[in-house]
Amino acid sequence: MFVQVIQGQVEDAAAVRAQLEKWVAELAPNVPGWLGTTGGVTEDGMLMLLARFESEDAAKQNSALPEQSAWWEEMQQHFTGEPEFHDSSRVDVDLQGDPGQSRFVQVMQGRTSDPDRARELMNDDSVDWETFRPDILGSLTVEHDGDAWTMALYFTSEEDAREGESKPPPAEMEKVMAEMEQLSMGEPAYFDLKDPWLHAPG
């Protein structure tokens, strides 16, 4: 899998959403290898988009389409500054439900001093997440730019997520969290998408 993360401040969330839905309706049917898109705008106007493709080649083929260039020219007019792009094929997906049913998505971003070890910890399966946090439907983790990462967590609802956050973690999870904190370079950033836009082929 290949993921492109696009982020930046926007003025009109509704206009951005309409433009994304235009892409899904008019361009997506002609984009082989597109797997889906997660998006949304935070309450302070930060747009977060994670577009998933079968491969980097599929993403490049999409970018080369003249229709894509025309669409992006319209899209970028909604940004108040230059958007950021992060591309990577170092992607991990963890599912324990259907993320397409999520009503709240939290995107986190940070940096780590040891990307390989951090990836091992993020894929640790010693915790029974389905029992401990049934509110989590799945996660998508992307490593990019050397030591950086972006993770999208898909929740049944914001209320369920906040309730789940209040639960004391099991001992195995505390160990993982402690080591992750040691590897972390600075504090991670959190972006709450309270009205997530979830699209997939078909």
Using one digit for the tens of pLDDT, what is the confidence trace for 182-196?
A: 888 999 999 999 999
Single-letter amino acid, residue 48: M
The helix, strand and coil proportions of the chain, stated in percent and rounded to the nearest 5, come to 40, 35, 25
10-residue stretch averages of pLDDT, the chain, 202 residues long: 98 97 94 95 98 96 92 96 96 93 97 90 76 92 94 97 90 84 92 98 88
Q: Which residue has the tokens 């836009």?
A: 197
What is the DSSP-derived secondary structure letter of residue 82? P
* pTM beyond 0.85: yes
Domain 2-88 has CATH 3.30.70.100: yes
Delimit the CATH 3.30.70.100 region(s) of the chain. 2-88, 90-193
Q: Output the CATH code of domain 90-193.
A: 3.30.70.100
SS (H, E, C) 11-40: CCHHHHHHHHHHHHHHHHHHCCCEEEEEEE
Count of Cβ atoms closer than 10 Å to residue 93 Cβ: 15
Q: Which residue has the tokens 């008019």?
A: 26
What is the DSSP-derived secondary structure letter of residue 52? E
Per-residue pLDDT tens over the stretch 4-23: 999 999 999 999 999 999 99
